[in-house]
Amino acid sequence: MTTSSYSWLSLQQMLDSALPIGSFAHSYGLETLVQKGEIRTGADLHRYLAGMLRQSWAVSDAMVIKAAYGKPEKPGRQELPASAEFAESLEYACRVERLVHLQRLGIETREGIEKTGRRLLKLAPALWPELPLEDLRQAVSERRSLGTHPLVYGWICLKLGVPLDRAAEGYLYMCAQTCVNAALRLMAMGQQEAQRILSRTLPSIAEAWQEARGMDPEEAYGAMPLAEMAMIRHERLYSRLFMS
């Protein structure tokens, strides 16, 4: 097996909705929007996904992934040994991770992103025992990293040799897929309609990343107040299927 085919197949496994990291238990605010009547139809869901891709996931979480791949080059920067570059990259990624994470307003959402990330980090040695992940585990243990899903995912992709563009678009697809799977349990929607919505969202995934890929990771932001309010209000819902 070639290195490229190995990294590509490993990425597919990481994107699988059956991966036991607990993401199926989180709707990240969608449950609130459905209960409050903000999202009623497949068309509503598609518009919501497009907004989240462009104004939240691509310009926040994907910036953490980009940071894991290294600090933007500065003019006149001296070359570092490979080991030092990885250490510098991790510290930089941890800084961007904290910047992005502190912008999440809903406590359930912050906790959910941390739980799924730490479960992925715990699962990783069983799936890829050859990957050197001790540096990230130590950073999480020392609280230099919060162990959020975007950072753990990005660091694993980096060590697997997955190209940045593929890693970022894969993460955005995973976010959309998780949202659609949650909608299946929350709305009157069949499997075929759900897959049609996901298929229609694929161009938005590519476009959202192309628009955001030139950003400096430290410019990360989120601009989806409707979603943020839904995440905050979720803990006060009368009945809940999801943890967030």
What is the per-residue pLDDT across 77-91, written as a single tens digit (0 to 9) for each? 555 445 545 668 899
**Cα 73 to the center of its chain, rounded Å:** 24
Angle at 60 (CA atoms; ends 180, 27), nearest 5 degrees: 30
- Contacts for 224 with CB less than 8 Å, ≥ 6 apart: 51, 52, 55, 56
pLDDT tens figures, 115-147: 999 999 999 999 999 999 999 999 999 999 999
* pLDDT reported for residue 80: 44
Strongest mean pLDDT among 39-43, 67-71, 233-237, 238-242:
39-43
* pLDDT reported for residue 73: 65
* pLDDT reported for residue 88: 81
Q: Average of pLDDT values for 168-179? A: 96
CA distance 129 to 23: 23
Q: Which of 18, 11, 19, 3 has its CA nearest to residue 157?
A: 11
Angle at 119 (CA atoms; ends 202, 181), nearest 5 degrees: 35
| Whether 148 contacts 64, CB under 8 Å | yes
* pLDDT reported for residue 65: 98
* pLDDT reported for residue 229: 94
Q: Would you say how long the chain is, in residues?
A: 244
pLDDT tens figures, 90-113: 999 999 999 999 999 989 999 999
Q: Which of 232, 229, 242 has its CA nearest to residue 38?
A: 229
**What domains does the chain contain, in order, with CATH numbers?**
26-70+81-236 (1.10.4190.10)
> Does position 211 have pLDDT exceeding 60, yes or no?
yes
CA distance 91 to 72: 13
Q: Average of pLDDT values for 172-193? A: 95
DSSP output for 32-82: HHHHTTS--SHHHHHHHHHHHIIIIITTTHHHHHHHHT-PPP-TTPPP--H
> Does position 185 have pLDDT exceeding 70, yes or no?
yes
Q: Coil, helix or strand for 13?
A: helix
> Does position 1 have pLDDT exceeding 80, yes or no?
no
